[in-house]
């Protein structure tokens, strides 16, 4: 019964996101990943994972789960329905004192089950003038737990302008979701070196970085 409701809602969300943003996916030369992976992206809006989810091919979308803050997506019945039933999100309690389990172990289990993850290594929305906030340790800890998993950088452009903070009505603008080549944790790579490398890989996909390189 739940599937009869969630599938049409998921389709409506995808159609609405595409109509509002005319979103376009830009894939690397290697194309979309063919096996479970971790998409790690910049984070400036609550709609970020929806845009990534919307541009994935249907067969990939059904096996891709966003990692999101439990305190936000469990705040109301509607958010709970959207987060858990529609997007099948992996909800993580940010407050360590309220956690009942290991979030890294939970994400690793999802990967082991054959699903991909959408992860935002900044840990919170970036509302500053900087292109990225410093990465938290979660991406490194997950990569250490599953070093054989591909990590795919994803740059979301313009969505923060579509859904600016404090505004209720979205502003129609063209958005792009740029996927980079996958990478993995290197043998004996330190946390600092890994986070610096993944940060650089993500930044290299931004329009400003690509424009400077041309």
Domain regions of the chain by residue span: 2-208
Are 158 and 45 contacting, i.e. CB atoms less than 8 angstroms apart?
Answer: no
Of the pLDDT bands very low, low, confident and very high (cuts 50, 70, 90), residue 8 is confident
Helix (H, G, I), strand (E, B) or coil at 44: coil
* pLDDT at residue 163, rounded to an integer: 52
Q: Is 181 exposed, middle or buried (0-12, 13-18, 19+ CB in 10 A)?
A: middle
| Architecture field, domain 2-208 | 3-Layer(aba) Sandwich (3.40)
Residue 28 is predicted with a pLDDT of 93
Euclidean distance between CA atoms 146 and 131, whole angstroms = 28
> What is the pLDDT, as a whole number, of residue 157?
87
Average confidence (pLDDT) over 190-200: 97
- Are 75 and 82 contacting, i.e. CB atoms less than 8 angstroms apart? no
Q: What average pLDDT does the segment 60-80 reach?
A: 89
Residue 70 has pLDDT above 80, yes or no: yes
Range with the poorest average pLDDT among 15-24, 25-34, 133-142, 169-178: 169-178
């Amino acid at each position: 019964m739940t599937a009869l409701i969630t599938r049409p809602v998921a389709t409506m969300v995808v159609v609405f996101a595409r109509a509002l943003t005319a979103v376009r996916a830009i894939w690397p030369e290697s194309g979309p990943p063919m096996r479970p992976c971790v998409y790690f992206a910049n984070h400036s809006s609550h709609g970020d994972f929806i845009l990534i989810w919307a541009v994935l091919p249907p067969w990939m979308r059904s096996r891709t789960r966003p990692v999101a803050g439990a305190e936000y997506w469990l705040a109301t019945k509607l958010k709970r329905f959207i987060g858990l039933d529609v997007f099948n999100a992996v909800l993580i309690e940010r407050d360590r004192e309220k956690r009942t389990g290991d979030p890294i172990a939970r994400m690793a289990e999802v990967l082991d089950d054959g699903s991909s993850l959408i992860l935002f290594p900044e840990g919170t929305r970036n509302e500053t003038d900087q292109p990225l906030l410093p990465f938290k340790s979660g991406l490194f800890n997950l990569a250490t737990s599953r070093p054989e998993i591909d990590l795919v950088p994803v740059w979301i452009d313009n969505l923060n302008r579509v859904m600016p903070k404090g505004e209720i009505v979205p502003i129609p603008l063209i958005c792009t979701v740029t996927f980079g080549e996958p990478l993995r944790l290197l043998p004996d790579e330190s946390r600092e070196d890994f986070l610096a490398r993944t940060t650089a890989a993500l930044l290299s996909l931004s329009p400003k970085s690509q424009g400077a390189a041309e």
